[in-house]
Amino acid sequence: MRLRVDVDGEPLAPGAAVSGRVVVEEGGRARSLSVRLAFVERTEDFEKVARDAGTQVIAEGDLADGAVIAFQLALPQDAAPHVGSPHARIGWEVRARVDRAGPDPTADRPVELLQGYTAPDRERWPSG
Amino acid sequence: MAVAREGHPHLPPGREPGSQSRRTATGRTLGGCAAPAFVAAGVVAAAIVVGFGLLLGSLPDGPPSWPFFIGAAAVLAFFWLFARAMWRGVRPRYATGLELRVERQELRRGDRVGATASGEGELEVGLLCTQAFDVLRRISDDSRSRVTDTVSVWQQWVPVPHAALGQRVELALPPDGPYSYEGDCVSVGWAVVLRRVGEKRAAEPVPLWVAP
């Protein structure tokens, strides 16, 4: 089973609705499909949900190939934008998760907010 | 007046460390405590090597003792360097003869902050943002350990050419730059630093807290 998450209208403002769709690229048997919006710390080896802004069940039952399911969640009014580097990122993410027998397939999609920051490669800095 | 929270030099007083910063501070403290033990262990190990060499050298047709003395010196140097690295983790060395004062430590992105630098020589003041991130590092074929690495994610340097009697400079935080964050596997910290141009060692940094 394979999923993809699309998000509309980025970059978003704090408090804005996060709307988009989950595309089921490869379907299969499932109990449900849910999406979660959360502020996540992520490195190559670790991830931690620092703040959960809500989870929504958007489909129940088996998922067909090519199915497209829309969702809408809301960012908190004080949502901070992302800060990223080639090594780590903090920021909001949508996670789609299929609940089924065995390991649950997931798909993560970072959400871009206004005034986020992504550090360029370190080589840019002439000193320090 | 203290410019940094005790045990957490990257945070201004009054700011709570996150779990990553607490883990790192605990590791530094343990390393600092273990440093004298490593020096003692090095002395004991070197003495054993020397003793073994003298013992073998005293036997009829025994080997010469001098290779054991060299081996003992190498063992001592190895343990001493290891202990020194752990000690430096607890007590970093700063440049002497430099003084840095920052007008406020609680800011928001886009704010400006004044800093006064004093010291002999050609100086520069830096506004630095560092990201700390946890990774798994391989320590043997079948074992990996959680370590915290750091990387510079933003920096700006301002020359301070005539600072013998103190010179004020104004630094600007980028409005769409990174902000301070204390987390479990990622943290972001800001600081103002002062150094002589061309030198790596700086005066003790002054940490800032930059709100989004």
* pTM confidence score: 0.83
Say if residue B112 is in the same domain as residue B39: no
Of A46, A81, A116, the CB nearest to B134: A46
B4 found inside a domain: no
pLDDT digits (tens, 9 = 90+) for B138-167: 888 888 899 999 999 999 999 998 777 789
B5 found inside a domain: no
* Structural domain boundaries enclosing B116: 95-211
* B122 in contact with chain A, both atoms CB, cutoff 8 A: no
Of B75, B90, B105, the domain-final residue: B90
The enclosing domain of B182 has a CATH number of 2.60.40.640
Residue in chain A nearest B129 by alpha carbon: A119
Say if residue B148 is in the same domain as residue B191: yes
B185 found inside a domain: yes
Mind listing the pLDDT tens digit of every residue in chain A (128 residues)?
999 999 999 999 999 999 999 999 999 999 999 999 999 999 999 999 999 999 999 999 999 999 999 999 999 999 999 999 999 999 999 999 999 999 999 999 999 999 999 998 654 444 43
CA distance A15 to chain B (A): 15
Say if residue B152 is in the same domain as residue B61: no
CA distance B186 to chain A (A): 6
Backbone φ and ψ for B174, nearest 5 degrees, come out as -65, 135
A36 neighbors A108 (Cβ within 8 angstroms): no
B53 found inside a domain: yes
* B194 in contact with chain A, both atoms CB, cutoff 8 A: no
Number of compact structural domains in chain B: 2
CA distance A53 to chain B (A): 17
**Cβ atoms within 10 Å, residue A17:** 12
B161: left (phi over 0), alpha (psi -120 to 50) or beta: alpha
Query: Does CATH number 2.60.40.10 belong to domain A2-114?
Result: no
Please report, for chain A, the start and end positions of each structural domain, with discontinuous segments joined by +.
2-114
Say if residue B80 is in the same domain as residue B112: no
Say if residue B66 is in the same domain as residue B134: no
- Say whether B184 and A87 touch across the interface (CB within 8 A): no
